[in-house]
Structure 1
Amino acid sequence: MAGFSWQWAFAFGLLGNIVSFMVFLSPIPTFYAIYKRKTSEGYQSIPYVVALFSSMLWIFYAFLKSNTTLLITINSFGCFIETIYVCFYLFYAPNKVQTLKMIVLLIICGFGLIVVSTMFLVRPSQRAMVVGWICLVFSLCVFVAPLCILRRVIQSESVEYMPFLLSLFLTLSAVMWFFYGLLIKDYNVAVPNVVGFSFGVLQMALYVRYKNCGEVEY
């Protein structure tokens, strides 16, 4: 029975990798629009900086546990692609200060503090648990980050700055990783994806509601 559960967990983890790969690639149309406009004005860098930070945390968490290859592979790709997105955003950003502050606060200071404090202040037997809770909190932040975009959609009645593909793949990814975390009994993986699924459905519902209210760019 345990072997059977692990087979299902591996299947959902593999599907989670595939769908998450599409999640990481889904903002490409957004950055193509930025490239055409030669400006990132109107677009938010917050989701990409937070996603980069979250991927780094999950890699750190994965190295503290065993049998976490599926987490390491997809989050390594996440770090790579999100770094490209952030650099691309900065290149075309008319005002780079806010994004640079976030990078320093989260990526340099935040991640560095978490690594140093857990390695020196937490006992080895408890490190995975502590980092797991931190990952859980910031995974929730990744899903909550698009709220600023949802607010803009409702206020402007336009989905110009909310790519539908990103919402779709986030929802599918949340389903896959929820079942993966549930089957391996890692609730730090499973719990945030309940919120991720809810926000994904909300984003798609808003897209359907406002897609014909203005011009949409992909």
Structure 2
Amino acid sequence: MVNTETIRTIVGIIGNVISFGLFMSPIPTFVKIFKAKAVQDFKPDPYIATILNCAMWSFFGLPFVHPDSLLVVTINGAGFFIELIYVAIFFIYSPWTKRKHIIIALIIEVIFMAAVVLVTLKVFHTTKDRSLIIGILCIIFNIIMYTSPLTVMHMVIKTKSVKYMPFTLSLASFRQWNYLGDLCTA
């Protein structure tokens, strides 16, 4: 009989592989940006949302919040840095108005993350309480991350073109939701 810790590790590794695929899925979008030397009408929202999501999950996985969650920390730490690279590329090829949007969003995320860490460590004194509160926040930001590619839907409807809809990111996000749904019903 396989113990629960082994199952947890196997499912965690599978989740990490799928999540890594999600983090790498925007590469075709960034190839287009490199070739055009401009972001055109692509939006930075999915990448900015993913930075906060990865930061929250990395914090969640730390031993003083949720012990024995090394796989959560490793994949989200990697995702955090991958998304920072995407945002940096986006920043380089953006006009000033989009750069300003990126800067403001990142400053808000840093302030929010600092507040979450401070409140968590000062107010909640057990890993059970910290795991519950940060876990709820992580789920909220997970939903925001998965729905962020839809911020371009207004343009898709208006132009009747999916040219600026990040297809591979949308597909990978959809597959990730299917994976999570399969785990919940198993």
What's the TM-score once normalised by structure 1's chain length?
Answer: 0.76
Match of 1:189 in 2: none
Aligned partners of 1:89, 1:45: CA distance in 2, in Å? Answer: 7
Aligned partners of 2:73, 2:157: CA distance in 1, in Å? Answer: 37
Closer, same or farther: CA 151–10 of 1 in aligned 2, 3 Å: farther
Asked whether 1:38 is paired with 2:40, we answer no
2:161 counterpart (158, 168, 177): 158
**Cα RMSD for the two superposed structures:** 2.0
Segments of structure 1 that go 5 or more residues without pairing to the other structure are 184-218
Closer, same or farther: CA 177–66 of 1 in aligned 2, 3 Å: farther
Asked if the contact 2:120–2:130 (Cα under 8 Å) also holds between the matched residues in 1, the reply is yes
Question: Residue 93 of structure 2 aligns to which amino acid in structure 1?
Answer: Y
Aligned partners of 2:155, 2:11: CA distance in 1, in Å? Answer: 34
Aligned partners of 1:67, 1:178: CA distance in 2, in Å? Answer: 23
Match of 1:10 in 2: 9
Aligned partners of 1:150, 1:86: CA distance in 2, in Å? Answer: 20
Asked if the contact 1:41–1:94 (Cα under 8 Å) also holds between the matched residues in 2, the reply is no
Asked whether 1:87 is paired with 2:88, we answer yes
Segments of structure 2 that go 5 or more residues without pairing to the other structure are none
Asked if the contact 1:48–1:82 (Cα under 8 Å) also holds between the matched residues in 2, the reply is yes
3-state SS of paired residue (2:61): helix
Query: Following superposition of structure 1 onto structure 2, how do residues 107-122 of structure 1 map, counting pairs within 5 Å?
Result: 108-122=110-124
Match of 1:124 in 2: 126
2:150 counterpart (147, 152, 157): 147
Asked if the contact 1:15–1:176 (Cα under 8 Å) also holds between the matched residues in 2, the reply is no
Match of 1:58 in 2: 57
Deviation at 1:69, TM superposition (A): 2.0
3-state SS of paired residue (1:89): helix
Asked if the contact 1:20–1:170 (Cα under 8 Å) also holds between the matched residues in 2, the reply is no
Name the count of aligned residue pairs: 181
Question: Residue 36 of structure 1 aligns to which amino acid in structure 2?
Answer: K
Match of 2:77 in 1: 76
Aligned partners of 1:61, 1:181: CA distance in 2, in Å? Answer: 20
3-state SS of paired residue (1:146): helix
Aligned partners of 1:120, 1:16: CA distance in 2, in Å? Answer: 31
What's the TM-score once normalised by structure 2's chain length?
Answer: 0.87
Deviation at 1:146, TM superposition (A): 1.8
Asked if the contact 1:59–1:71 (Cα under 8 Å) also holds between the matched residues in 2, the reply is yes
Match of 1:208 in 2: none
Question: Residue 56 of structure 1 aligns to which amino acid in structure 2?
Answer: A
Percent sequence identity is 29
Aligned partners of 1:9, 1:157: CA distance in 2, in Å? Answer: 44
Closer, same or farther: CA 105–141 of 1 in aligned 2, 3 Å: same
Aligned partners of 2:74, 2:22: CA distance in 1, in Å? Answer: 14
Aligned partners of 2:152, 2:100: CA distance in 1, in Å? Answer: 20
Aligned partners of 2:143, 2:2: CA distance in 1, in Å? Answer: 29
Deviation at 1:51, TM superposition (A): 0.2
